[in-house]
Amino acid sequence: MTLFSFIQKFSKTKILCIGDIMLDHFMYGSVSRISPEAPVPIFHFSHEKQMLGGVGNVISNLRALNCHVTFLGGIGDDESGKKVSELLSETMCHSKLLKLKNVPTICKTRFIAGHNHLLRADFEEKVSIPQTLIPRLLKLLRQVIPSMDIVLLSDYDKGILSDELTPQIIQVCHEFHKPVLVDPKTTNYNRYYGATLVKPNLKEFSAVVGENLNPKDKDFLEKVKTNASALFKKFQIGGIVLTLSEHGMVYIDAKEPKSIIQIPTKAREVYDVSGAGDTSLAVLGAAIGAGAPVKDAMKLANLASGIVVGKLGTATASIQELTDRLNETLEQPSKIITKTQAKTLLADLKAKGKKIGFTNGCFDLLHLGHLSSLKQAKEHCDVLVVGVNSDASVKRYKGPNRPIQNQETRANILAALEIVDYVIIFDEDTALPLIQEIRPDIIAKEGYTLDMWPEAQWLIKNGGEAVVLKRIDGQSTTSQIERMKG
């Protein structure tokens, strides 16, 4: 599957988030002079904004990706807690909240002038879920986890994901065969024993292994593999995704600790790193929950992180931004695409005012008749999509001795033509299911009348056009085969 296809599956992916939730308070303004009372800048307040922080930012990122999100955690019984609850409702997150009495909700207030952070004021106390509430939380977990695709633990080490509770949560995930992805903030990895995947940054990883690691060192990757292997053996972790800021990410799988996957960063211009780790966790979790291999999930997470660091303040990457950035990274995108990929690409082209045309066939041995039809079809549209029958559908239609050339060869020959913009291989007996999926503006084909052309009938009923192309007599694959036979 392509990266585009995993993005398309986000809207069906169900994710459970557990962790430390906070209120991020941003105070925006300007500084034009220094105080005469003390050598400090005078902040002229302009406006403010309140957002979900901590695991709340992970939730906001997941909702921006159209994922279905459930949150399980605790908040203080105070005004900040009420605001957090309101913001969760606004994000359409399904929440299971435990109200903690006499415990303040964590609030972080940032003062920002232009693109510069001047000061951050934290209002917090390390909280913990009372012993009496742990059974209730685990009961709630067992109620919601069966429908989930993945569980994300966002540990800011503020007390919710305690040394006692976190292993019990991971155990429940194992009982229900759900992958659990952890973003850690503590060096006590006993807390994460048995996690499917742990995602530390370089500073956190160096702290837990007790060694100062530098990506610029020649033996950096070897040291990472050695230290990761030790963690795998001691804590039964399934894998580690190590984020390296401007140096990208690396992945070490406990099943193959001697091999390592590294991808470079995709950031363009950095304005603010606030929340980039949350975005990375959200996209990594969404992609894995959608069925992506870790390597592909890392590519998407890396792209998303590059988007948010280019924004000011705690930010999210929308599904459209992620799709656009992915398109930009494909310097020479393949013309041969899947139905799922086509839906995204063609919808974007339509939004830009492009007229999408479609034709289809077996194209077994490309001849003058094919070229004539393709040229004519291209005259009626800006973007020409060609549907190619798979080998199996050709055999059903033409007989056991066809096709002469396999589907990959036929598709690549068509893709090499300048007049063809995209090629889609389809396995159905007709192109109608494909037409219904990609919804072109116009369909063009030779040799068909409208009453014998179901694809055209459907497209016309749905606002499209149909064009009957002129045919060159005596040109067909069958006649070519007969001439070759002598």
Which amino acids are annotated catalytic? Answer: 278
How many Cβ atoms sit within 10 Å of the Cβ of residue 431? 23
Non-local CB neighbours of 368 within 8 Å, separated by 6+ positions: 472, 475
Cα 239 from Cα 196, distance rounded (Å): 6
The closest alpha carbon to 266, from 331, 200, 338, belongs to 331
CA atoms within 13 A on the CB side of 420: 25
The 3-class SS string of 412-478 reads HHHHCCCCCCEEEEECCCCCHHHHHHHCCCEEEEECCCHHHCHHHHHHHHCCCEEEEECCCCCCCHH
Ramachandran quadrant class, 93 (left: phi over 0; alpha: psi -120 to 50; beta: rest): beta
Would you state the structure tokens that stand for residue 170, as one six-digit string? 């991971």
Beginning with the edge strand found earlier in the chain, give each strand of the sheet holding 94-100 in spatial order. 94-100, 68-76, 14-19, 150-154, 180-183, 197-198, 239-243, 249-253, 256-263
Helix (H) or strand (E) holding 61: helix 55-64
DSSP E strand boundaries for 20-136: 21-34, 41-54, 68-76, 94-100, 107-113, 116-123
3-state secondary structure of 485: coil
Amino acid making up residue 378: K
CA atoms within 13 A on the CB side of 243: 25
